[in-house]
Amino acid sequence: MANEITNLFEEIKEELNISQIDAVSVLKAIDEKIRWYRMKINNPKYKDIVPIKTKALMKLKAYIQENPNDIGKFVNSSIDDSKGGKRKVYGISFGTTYSSIAYIDENGNANTILIDCSMEMPSYVAFENWGSVFVGEAAKEMLGFESSKVCGYIKEHLGDNDFKFCVGKEEYSSEFITALILKKLVNEANKVMGDVTNDIVLTYPTYFGNETKNSLMSAAKIAGLNVVDTICEPIAMAISYIGHLVTNQVILIYDLGGATFDVTVIKINGKDMQVLAADGFRTLGGFSWDYEIVSYVLNYGEQHGFTHEEMFDCDLIRKAETAKKKISRQETAIIKLMGERIELTRETFEQLTSELLERTIMKVREVIGQIQSSIHVDKILIAGGSSLMPQVRTRIMQEFPNTNVEYFNSNLNIAKGAATFGLGMVK
């Protein structure tokens, strides 16, 4: 079977006109070629060849979807470093809700690369029935009108071999969807940098086991990327933070992301770092706060005769997230739904979500309880987009009145720390 597929690939490789050989690129090229042939079905010149070509392409597509890591058997691809010298290595923070990518410039400074004019790209992928794929902001925008075709929070499904995201007759694994996100980050970074490299350092949360890490590595391979090393997220963040240090310190990282919460205590001694304790929740993050707003609006809607289905059809989840962000900057947010203007004050919002916040504080206490009583936490870094909610900083300062608290963007600094970690690994 493998030889047959290899021969088939060699026969149509030139026809596919692909510049980079990886599963994502090849599958996209196959879909485009299948559509091209189907448009020619009524042309006498192509009438006889269309069924033969489409059947061959469909067979190749099915094999690659089932065995994406086998793409390397077809061809030995190489990266041409046309500029000479040391190639870049990107640091990637693959987040549950947002991802980012960074590099080290010629002066040794870590910089985040803009993707679609933003430092953070939504970790969303959307699939159209005709084969088109959208990644990032374009995919997230489709939540409002074609949510069944949009896949988010895929990081939480890595390592789950039974997970499949279905659109029409097509099924996509968590590794393949993750590969699309990673490839988008690197492709866009290369466009911005005017460079060609596929070398990356990947980060992972402390709760990832070996199976999940291997799944992440497979996704990178499917995307045609070369993982020069991996590093856990809190260590990457600490590496990025080292430049801000005056003396050796013990820091506690409170990282409240879009879908997860992590707390880590790290001892920094010069460039040496040691994780003293770590824990968290895999299913507690900003979306938990969003759903408290959703419940609040649903209760309001029920009192005014609206059904849940009607309200969800009005892009309720996205509107809840927008309201959360607004209420982090101002005292009141207005949610427009079904002709109604629903007012949500910051005070009400903080009451609705107080139990969620207390769960994170309890976890911080547990983690601190794991370290020796003689060790003192010098600084608390609050990280993650959801930590921008005023209630987070206020509550932490209440809990630790004598400890310096500082906000430190997790996604951006995780990517920067990973890029710094990868410096010198690629010759």
| Residues 25, 110 share a domain | no
pLDDT tens per residue across span 388-413: 999 999 999 999 999 999 998 777 88
pLDDT tens per residue across span 235-281: 898 888 876 555 688 999 999 988 889 999 999 887 788 899 999 99
| Residues 169, 65 share a domain | no
Examine the fold and report which residue of 43, 73, 103 is the final residue of a domain before the chain moves on. Answer: 73
Task: Supply the pLDDT for residue 82.
Answer: 41
* 3-state DSSP of 67-97: CHHHHHHCCCCCCCCCCCCCCCCEEEECCCC
Residues 149 and 125: their CA atoms lie apart, in Å, by 8
Q: What is the CATH number of the domain that holds 186?
A: 3.30.420.40
- Residue 86 has φ and ψ, to the nearest 5°, of -75, 130
**Position 29 in a domain:** yes
**Position 347 in a domain:** no
Task: Supply the pLDDT for residue 75.
Answer: 45
**How many helices (H) and strands (E) would you count in the chain?**
14, 18
Residues 199 and 112: their CA atoms lie apart, in Å, by 16
% pLDDT > 70, the chain: 85
Task: Supply the pLDDT for residue 226.
Answer: 93
| Residues 202, 100 share a domain | yes
- Residue 320: helix, strand or coil by DSSP? helix
Where is 405: in which H helix or E strand? strand 404-407
With bands split at pLDDT 50, 70 and 90, how would you rate the model's confidence at 81?
very low
For residue 69, give its domain range.
2-73
* Residue whose C-alpha is closest to residue 93's, from 255, 201, 228, 246: 201
| Residues 197, 65 share a domain | no
Task: Supply the pLDDT for residue 377.
Answer: 93
Task: Supply the pLDDT for residue 123.
Answer: 95
For residue 86, is pLDDT > 90? no
Per DSSP, the residues of 136-165 read THHHHHGGGT-GGGEE--GGGGTT-TT--E
| Residues 140, 96 share a domain | yes
Q: Which two tokens stand for residue 355?
A: 């139990």
| Residues 200, 67 share a domain | no
Task: Supply the pLDDT for residue 408.
Answer: 84
Question: How many CA atoms does the CB half-sphere of 44 hold within 13 Å?
Answer: 0
Pairing of the two strands 379-383 and 249-256: parallel
Q: Any idea which of 136-140, 346-350, 373-377, 398-402 has the lowest mean pLDDT?
A: 373-377
> C-alpha angle with apex 66: 65 to 69, nearest 5 degrees?
85
**Position 19 in a domain:** yes
Task: Supply the pLDDT for residue 10.
Answer: 60
- Residue 195: helix, strand or coil by DSSP? coil
> Would you say the pTM of this structure is higher than 0.85?
no
Selected residue with higher pLDDT from 372 and 43: 372
For residue 182, is pLDDT > 50? yes
Selected residue with higher pLDDT from 39 and 334: 334
Answer for the pair 392, 359: CB distance below 8 angstroms, yes or no. Answer: no
- Residue 41 has φ and ψ, to the nearest 5°, of -60, -30
Task: Supply the pLDDT for residue 176.
Answer: 95
Residues 8 and 248: their CA atoms lie apart, in Å, by 59
**Position 240 in a domain:** no
Mean pLDDT along residues 61-86: 55
Task: Supply the pLDDT for residue 16.
Answer: 60
- Helical H runs in 249-329? 286-303, 308-312, 316-327
Task: Supply the pLDDT for residue 145.
Answer: 79
**Residue 204: beta bridge partners?**
232
Examine the fold and report which residue of 42, 73, 104 is the final residue of a domain before the chain moves on. Answer: 73
What torsion, rounded to 10 degrees, do the Cα atoms 158, 72, 98, 116 define? Answer: -160
Phi/psi-derived region of residue 221, left when phi > 0, alpha when psi is between -120 and 50, beta in every other case: alpha
